[in-house]
Every structure is written in structure tokens, then in C-alpha cells.
């Protein structure tokens, strides 16, 4: 089989704090194939953002530490333990990232054109004039009206949606093969969110760019993703195609999440909620980490659960009650 | 059941809230932010009215003005037959006992230095309630919102987001109000916890006969909790109708666009769904567009001369369904 674009295997990122060791990411495996959009979905504190930051080596060590045995391979190259020069070259060039709050990722004292041009001059080593020209073209590509005027504006002069477009233009500037988007639309209004999601979809098709979308919003996942990884308490608890996850969820947590969504089309008077709250990463529960909140918990749940591959390719679940066809542990 | 033949609990008429824009060393007023620009609605006892719209549309300002946390620029607010804007100190105090506010950020609105028990007792003390048995009443309140008596001596930082929001609700309920303004009460919470709080609010409404003004930007959530929904755009209500109606048969192009922009957890139909992606951003309320304030972004009638020059008013096309659009009949036809 061909190697995936990005392969994460048994990633464990721990934080060494005064309160103890927080196992924020605790044995996460998944892969992103070329050109696909993979969604990582989960509630706050499930480790989805730490996973993405670990991929790019963006976490400060200490307190964070990527533990031995973790592996992140990009086109076959191991990134865990790679030197800073290699990582610098990779970031922006081959893998780009956009964040939730574009205002805090943009420098307030430089015009957006200067900031995009800087990326181009560093990574592509092109001249000042050419870089500016390219910046205007990129702003145009991400749908900013009057790009030749906007290029000289400062971040505070732009609306939230426009700022996110600028971030995307910057991320695209080196034609990356993978874009990591961490809650890219969470801070935006729905109509603007729809614009940005449409833009991301369009760009990923036009450039053959894979997208790793990190979000808490199941609606967003359903709209744009091809495959989905559901995380809970630092682990992957279910994977599958977007259709499989939404139409035949196997893990009780995934089912609980879907049931707790109010829906526009069907307004049953009562929402099914999941009782309790997300556990503390310093003391993950023993056995199945969802056990205390699980409506189906029973005998066997006190055992540590492994991610088991299900009959369909690419499907897996971390609940022993979902009957696996072959018992090969997938991570 | 909601009795709509009885007089409404809350009546709002042509309410305006304009904030001056000042510039220069002497603070010369150079313009007005028309945060709320002439809105009217009624709210009956036991009813939940959802107020939706994007950030900056004036939904929170509306709520604050209704409760007189901000003095209105113009318009009328009647609560249970009494003019809220004319109330003196004493009447206002009585009004505030009956009308309470629950904020979005439960952490920002709880005093970090007061234990839960002390915080709730303070509310009772200020309003001179439950003099004989304050502790007992506090325990009762905690139980009402699904917390336990042993939480009494804890501080806000010891609670999770969902529990903090329960505290915010307990504090609002301490004075036995009839009316609660819920300003994005679950937006800061995770979905699994969101559902718990929504269910709690539902139970409390049944049990205590409360009336809610529910403000949120999440349309699916608003539809779920509301009896009627009002959609706001640039300081005005553009459509108001029964929750079912507004989702099944939206009349205003903005409502339709807003509904179609909500990401749905339904990948099966994602390619067949009608999707309207609006262009551009919400215009500034300092300098709103002429005519219909939505016309520059309207996908259907942006070029229409009447839309550019004449502001539409809320008109009813059928029982209880109002929309402010010159072409509301046509919109339905286009939808086919």
C-alpha cells in the first residue's frame, strides 16, 4: 500500500505540570491521505489541538514532551525528533496551519501585504516587487474584494472573515500539501463561516491540498469532511467515513454527541444529554475512559479499551461492545 | 399552555438604542451607532421568544435595554402593564426582582472571591428574602438547578463550565422571578453539556412557569427551545413567527440565507441541500444602507429600486408570521 501523506502513530504528548502529568494526547493514530479532508472532532480538552500542534512540533518543551515511541511521518519522513531546521522548512512550505483567532495570529503593526510577502520571500526567495505582486494575487484568490487596495491595509481594518481569508492566503502562499485548520470558523458568524468553509473546500479541490480540520462542531464536520476521527480523553475512540460516523455511529460517545445536537429539521422537545463532564487529563479514569458517563457501561468496561478495526476498511472503534470481525488491534 | 388572548407580560414598542460616536479632544459627537433601531415585540406568560442574529445585530443590546440596564433612546417597554422606562427607584427594584438576566460567560459573571453559599445569600440579603432560613433556601436553590448541598462552600473556579452556568441560573432564580433573559446561556459550553443545561432550562420553565427571552446565534438551538423566533439584522427585527413556521417557511431572504448557512450534521443530504452563501460582511450600524438594510447583500432583490429607497416594515402574510421584505410573497415562489 502507498504511504499516506501524513501518518501519526501512537502519538503521546504529555505535559509535566505541578499538578502532575497531564496525558493530553495518549496514543493517537490516524492518517491523512493526499487530497482528502480529515476531520478531528471532540469536545474541549480531548486533545485535538495538542495533536495538531504536536504534528508541527509547535509545543514548548518543557512542559510538553512527545514521548518515546510516538511517530509522525510526513511522506515517509519521521518528524518526531527532526531538527529545527527541517521543521522550519516543513512548516509553511509543505504543511501550513491556520488558527481560530486570526487577529492574534496576525502582526498588528504590519500591513497584510507585507506579512504575506514576508512568507514568500523567506520560503520562496523571491524579490520584494514580485512578492507584493504575488500577495495581491493570493488575496484575490481567497476572495478579498479590491485586493490591490486591501494589500496595504492593517489587520485591524479588516473584519473577522477577511482576516481569516488573509490567514488562508498566507497559508496557501507556498502551495502546501497539507493544511491544518484548527477551529478556523469558530469565531465567525454563520454566514461568514459558510463563506470560509466554501473557500476551503474550493481551494482543497483546486490545489489538490489535503486538509486536517480540527473542530468541536459536528455540523461543520458533516459539511466538509471525507473522513472523521472522533477523540475523547486523549484517545481516538472512533474513525470512519463521514457517512459512517453520522449514520451508523458505533461508539456510545459518538452516539451521545450526535443525540445531544439540537437540529433544525427535527425538534423533539427533549435533548439527550451525556451526563457528567469531561474527565481531568491528570487522572484519566481507569479502563474505558468514557465508562463513568456511558449509558451502556457494564461488565468488561473496567478493562482498558483498544481501538479495534471493524469490518469495513478504515472503520475502528474503541468500545469492545461493537463486534469486530477481525480482532487485530489498530493502535 | 401559553394564553395569547391574555395581555402580554412584556410589550416592546419601537424601541431604539443609539450610542453616540465621539471624536476629537472635546468628544464631539460625529455619528450614532444605531444598535437597536425601532423594534417591537410581545412576550406572553410562559412563552419562550428566541432572538437570533449575527454578532453586532443588536440582540444583546435589546435585552439590556428592555431590562433597563441601559436607558433607551426612544420607544416603550411595558412589563405586566407597567411602563418600565418611567419606573422610579423603588418600582425598578421590584421590577428587577421579577426580571432577571443570565449571562453567556458564567465565569466572568460570578465573583471569584465569594463561595457559592455566600454569593446566593448575598442576593437574598439584598432583596430581603427568606430572612428566617437563608441557608435552607440556598440549598433548595442548588438542588433546583441540579447541584448538591456540599457545593455550598466551594468557589466558582472549582466548578466546570456547565456547573457554573447552573450557578448563574440559581442566582437568577434566587429572587423568584417570572421573566428570565438568557443571553447566549450555553454558547460557551461543549455540546454534551449544552444539552444538560438546555434540558434544565426547559424543566425550570415547566416547573416555575417562567417566561424566557432566549438570545443565541445558534439557529438550531433557538428553534429547539423557542415557541416563537425573532430574527434580527442591523438593529431591526426582519422576521418573527412561530419557531416551526420560521424554519419551514422562512419569508425573509436573510432568514433563508441564515438557515441555509447553518452547518447540519447530515452528510447524506449535503450535496442536495439548497445553500445560499451571502456575499460580504454585515454593514456598519453607524451608517446603515438606505432602504432595506439588507439590500446590499440580498441575493434576490439587491438591484430593486424599491428595496434601495424604501425601508420595508414588518407585515403579516398569515396568522402570526411577520416579515419585513417588499418581496416576501415572491421569495416563497422562488423557493418553489
Give the pLDDT band (50/70/90) at residue B330: low
Compute CA distances A255 → A225, A272, A299, whole Å: 18, 10, 20
pLDDT tens sequence across B262-298: 888 888 888 777 778 887 778 888 888 888 889 888 8
The residue among A238, A258, A319 whose CA lies nearest residue A30 is A238
- DSSP conformational letter for A67: P
Residue B223 pLDDT > 80, yes or no? yes
Question: Nearest C-alpha of chain B: how many angstroms from A269?
Answer: 7
CB neighbour list of residue B273: distance below 8 Å, 6 or more residues apart? B260, B264
The residue among A116, A121, A111 whose CA lies nearest residue A152 is A111
**Is B190 within 8 Å of A44 when comparing Cβ atoms?**
yes
Three-state secondary-structure class, residue A64: strand
Compute CA distances A283 → A19, A21, A166, A233, whole Å: 10, 9, 40, 10
Mean pLDDT, rounded, of chain B: 87
**Is A217 within 8 Å of B263 when comparing Cβ atoms?**
yes
The residue among B162, B133, B138 whose CA lies nearest residue B149 is B138
Residues of chain A contacting residue B260, judged by C-beta atoms under 8 Å apart: 194
Alpha-carbon gap, residue B261 to B277, rounded angstroms: 7
**Is A275 within 8 Å of B282 when comparing Cβ atoms?**
no
The residue among B41, B32, B91, B94 whose CA lies nearest residue B63 is B41
Q: Is A65 within 8 Å of A134 (Cβ atoms)?
A: no
- CB of A325 within 8 Å of a chain B CB? The answer is no
Return the number of other C-beta atoms located less than 10 Å from residue B69's C-beta: 12
Q: Which residues pair with B228 in a beta bridge?
A: B49, B242
- CB of A266 within 8 Å of a chain B CB? The answer is no
Question: Nearest C-alpha of chain B: how many angstroms from A80?
Answer: 31
Dig out the grid coordinates for B255 from the structure: 432568514
Give the pLDDT band (50/70/90) at residue B227: very high
**Is B199 within 8 Å of A217 when comparing Cβ atoms?**
no
Task: Name residues of chain A where pLDDT drops below 70.
Answer: 1-3, 263-269, 312, 323-331
- The pTM of the full predicted model, rounded to 2 decimals, is 0.83
**Is B202 within 8 Å of A43 when comparing Cβ atoms?**
no
Q: Is B294 within 8 Å of B233 (Cβ atoms)?
A: yes
- Least-confidence region, from A130-134, B26-30, B202-206: B26-30
SS (H, E, C) chain B: CCCCCCCCCEEEEEEEEEEEEEECCCCEEEEEEEEEEEEEEEECCCCEEEEECCCCCCHHHHHHHHCCCCCCCEEEEEECCEEHHHCCHHHHHHHHHHEEEECCCCCCCCCCCCCHHHHHHHHHHHCCCCCCCHHHHHHHHHHHCCCCHHHHHCCHHHCCHHHHHHHHHHHHHCCCCCEEEEECCCCCCCHHHHHHHHHHHHHHHHHHCCEEEEEECCHHHHHHHCCEEEEEECCEEEEEEEHHHHHHCCCCHHHHHHHHHCCCCCHHHCCCCCCCCCCCCCCCCCCCCCCCCCHHHCCCCCCCHHHHHCCCCCEEEECCEEECCCCHHHHHHHHC
What is residue B241's predicted lDDT score, i.e. its pLDDT? 92
Residues of chain A contacting residue B190, judged by C-beta atoms under 8 Å apart: 43-44, 216, 278
Most B CBs within 10 Å, among A163, A240, A253, A277, to test the B interface:
A277
CB neighbour list of residue A142: distance below 8 Å, 6 or more residues apart? A165, A166, A168, A169, A172, A199, A203
Residue B29 pLDDT > 90, yes or no? no
Three-state secondary-structure class, residue A74: strand
> Taking CA B150 as the corner, what is the angle to CA B145 and CA B151, rounded to the nearest 5 degrees?
55
Most A CBs within 10 Å, among B55, B151, B201, B224, to test the A interface:
B224
Q: ipTM of this complex > 0.85?
A: no
What is residue A312's predicted lDDT score, i.e. its pLDDT? 66
Q: Which residues pair with A25 in a beta bridge?
A: A13
What is residue B237's predicted lDDT score, i.e. its pLDDT? 94
Alpha-carbon gap, residue B177 to B171, rounded angstroms: 11
pLDDT tens sequence across A123-144: 888 888 888 988 998 888 888 8
Dihedral angle of Cα B169, B174, B177, B183, to the nearest 10 degrees: -20
Q: Which member of B163, B202, B258 has the closest CB to residue A191?
A: B258
What is residue B282's predicted lDDT score, i.e. its pLDDT? 80
Residues of chain A contacting residue B244, judged by C-beta atoms under 8 Å apart: 267
Question: Nearest C-alpha of chain B: how many angstroms from A169?
Answer: 17
Residue B310 pLDDT > 80, yes or no? yes
What is residue B336's predicted lDDT score, i.e. its pLDDT? 34
Dihedrals φ, ψ of B91, to 5°? -65, -35
Query: B318-321: long-range contacts at Cβ-Cβ below 8 A with a sequence spacing of 24 or more?
Result: B320/B228, B320/B241, B320/B242, B320/B245, B321/B240, B321/B241, B321/B242, B321/B245, B321/B246, B321/B249, B321/B251
- CB of A312 within 8 Å of a chain B CB? The answer is no
Q: Which member of A190, A195, A223 has the closest CB to residue B217?
A: A190
- CB of A220 within 8 Å of a chain B CB? The answer is yes
Q: Which member of B196, B261, B282 has the closest CB to residue A194?
A: B261
Alpha-carbon gap, residue B294 to B148, rounded angstroms: 49
Most A CBs within 10 Å, among B238, B247, B263, to test the A interface:
B263
Average pLDDT over residues B136-150: 90
Residues of chain B contacting residue A247, judged by C-beta atoms under 8 Å apart: 267-268
Sort B129 into a burial class: Cβ within 10 Å, 0-12 / 13-18 / 19+: middle
Amino acid at each position: 500500500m502507498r504511504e499516506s501523506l501524513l501518518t501519526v502513530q501512537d502519538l503521546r504528548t504529555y505535559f509535566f505540570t505541578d499538578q502532575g502529568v497531564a496525558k493530553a494526547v495518549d496514543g493517537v493514530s490516524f492518517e491523512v491521505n493526499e487530497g482528502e479532508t480529515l476531520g478531528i472532532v471532540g469536545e474541549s480538552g480531548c486533545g485535538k489541538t495538542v495533536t495538531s500542534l504536536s504534528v508541527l512540533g509547535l509545543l514548548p518543551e518543557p512542559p510538553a514532551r512527545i514521548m518515546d515511541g510516538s511517530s509522525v511521518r510526513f511522506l515517509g519522513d519521521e518528524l518526531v525528533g527532526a531538527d529545527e531546521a527541517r521543521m522550519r522548512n516543513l512548516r509553511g512550505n509543505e504543511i501550513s496551519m491556520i488558527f481560530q483567532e486570526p487577529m492574534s495570529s496576525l502582526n498588528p503593526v504590519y500591513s497584510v501585504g507585507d506579512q504575506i510577502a514576508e512568507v514568500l520571500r523567506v520560503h520562496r526567495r523571491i524579490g520584494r516587487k514580485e512578492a507584493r505582486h504575488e500577495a495581491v494575487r493570493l488575496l484575490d484568490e481567497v476572495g478579498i474584494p479590491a485586493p490591490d487596495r486591501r494589500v496595504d491595509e492593517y489587520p485591524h481594518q479588516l473584519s473577522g472573515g477577511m482576516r481569516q481569508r488573509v490567514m488562508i492566503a498566507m497559508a496557501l502562499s507556498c502551495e502546501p500539501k497539507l493544511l491544518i485548520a484548527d477551529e478556523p470558523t469558530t469565531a465567525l458568524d454563520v454566514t461568514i463561516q459558510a463563506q470560509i468553509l466554501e473557500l476551503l473546500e474550493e481551494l482543497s479541490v483546486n490545489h489538490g491540498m489535503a486538509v486536517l480540520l480540527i473542530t468541536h462542531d459536528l455540523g461543520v464536520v458533516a459539511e466538509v469532511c471525507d473522513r472523521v476521527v472522533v477523540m475523547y480523553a486523549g484517545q481516538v475512540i472512533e474513525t470512519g467515513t463521514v457517512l459512517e460516523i453520522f449514520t451508523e455511529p458505533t461508539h456510545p460517545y459518538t452516539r451521545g454527541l450526535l443525540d445531544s445536537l439540537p437540529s433544525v429539521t427535527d425538534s423533539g422537545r427533549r435533548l439527550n444529554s451525556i451526563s457528567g463532564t469531561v474527565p481531568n487529563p491528570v487522572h484519566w479514569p481507569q479502563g474505558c475512559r468514557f465508562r463513568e458517563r456511558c449509558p451502556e457501561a457494564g461488565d468488561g468496561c473496567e478493562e482498558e479499551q483498544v481501538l479495534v478495526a471493524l469490518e469495513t476498511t478504515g472503520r475502528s472503534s474503541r468500545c469492545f461492545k461493537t463486534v469486530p470481525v477481525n480482532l487485530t488491534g489498530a493502535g | 399552555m401559553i394564553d395569547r388572548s391574555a395581555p402580554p407580560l412584556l410589550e416592546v414598542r419601537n424601541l431604539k438604542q443609539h450610542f453616540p460616536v465621539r471624536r476629537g479632544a472635546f468628544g464631539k459627537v460625529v455619528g450614532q451607532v444605531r444598535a437597536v433601531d425601532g423594534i417591537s415585540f410581545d412576550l406572553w406568560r410562559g412563552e419562550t421568544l428566541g432572538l437570533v442574529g449575527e454578532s453586532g445585530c443588536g440582540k444583546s443590546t435589546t435585552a439590556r435595554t428592555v431590562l433597563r440596564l441601559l436607558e433607551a433612546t426612544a420607544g416603550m417597554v411595558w412589563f405586566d402593564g407597567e411602563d418600565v422606562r418611567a419606573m422610579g427607584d423603588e418600582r425598578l427594584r421590584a421590577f428587577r426582582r421579577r426580571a432577571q438576566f443570565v449571562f453567556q460567560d458564567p465565569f466572568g459573571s460570578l465573583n471569584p472571591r465569594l463561595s457559592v453559599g455566600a454569593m446566593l445569600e448575598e442576593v437574598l440579603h439584598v432583596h430581603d428574602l427568606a430572612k428566617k432560613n437563608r441557608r435552607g433556601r440556598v440549598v433548595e436553590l442548588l438542588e433546583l438547578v441540579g447541584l448538591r448541598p456540599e457545593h455550598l462552600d466551594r468557589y466558582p473556579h472549582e466548578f466546570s463550565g456547565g456547573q457554573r452556568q447552573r450557578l448563574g441560573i440559581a442566582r437568577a432564580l434566587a429572587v423568584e422571578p417570572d421573566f428570565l433573559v438568557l443571553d447566549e446561556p450555553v454558547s460557551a459550553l461543549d455540546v454534551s453539556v449544552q444539552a444538560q443545561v438546555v434540558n434544565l432550562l426547559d424543566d425550570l420553565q415547566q416547573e416555575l412557569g417562567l417566561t424566557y427571552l432566549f438570545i443565541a446565534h445558534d439557529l438550531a438551538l433557538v428553534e429547539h427551545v423557542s415557541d416563537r423566533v425573532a430574527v434580527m439584522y442591523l438593529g431591526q427585527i426582519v422576521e418573527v413567527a412561530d419557531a416551526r413556521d420560521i424554519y419551514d417557511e422562512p419569508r425573509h431572504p436573510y432568514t433563508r440565507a441564515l438557515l441555509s448557512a447553518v452547518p447540519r450534521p447530515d452528510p447524506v443530504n449535503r450535496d442536495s441541500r439548497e445553500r445560499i452563501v451571502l456575499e460580504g460582511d454585515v454593514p456598519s450600524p453607524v451608517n446603515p444602507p438606505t432602504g432595506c438594510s439588507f439590500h446590499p447583500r440580498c441575493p434576490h432583490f439587491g438591484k430593486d429600486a424599491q428595496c434601495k429607497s424604501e425601508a420595508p416594515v414588518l407585515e403579516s402574510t398569515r396568522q402570526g408570521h411577520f416579515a419585513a421584505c417588499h418581496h416576501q410573497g415572491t421569495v416563497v415562489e422562488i423557493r418553489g
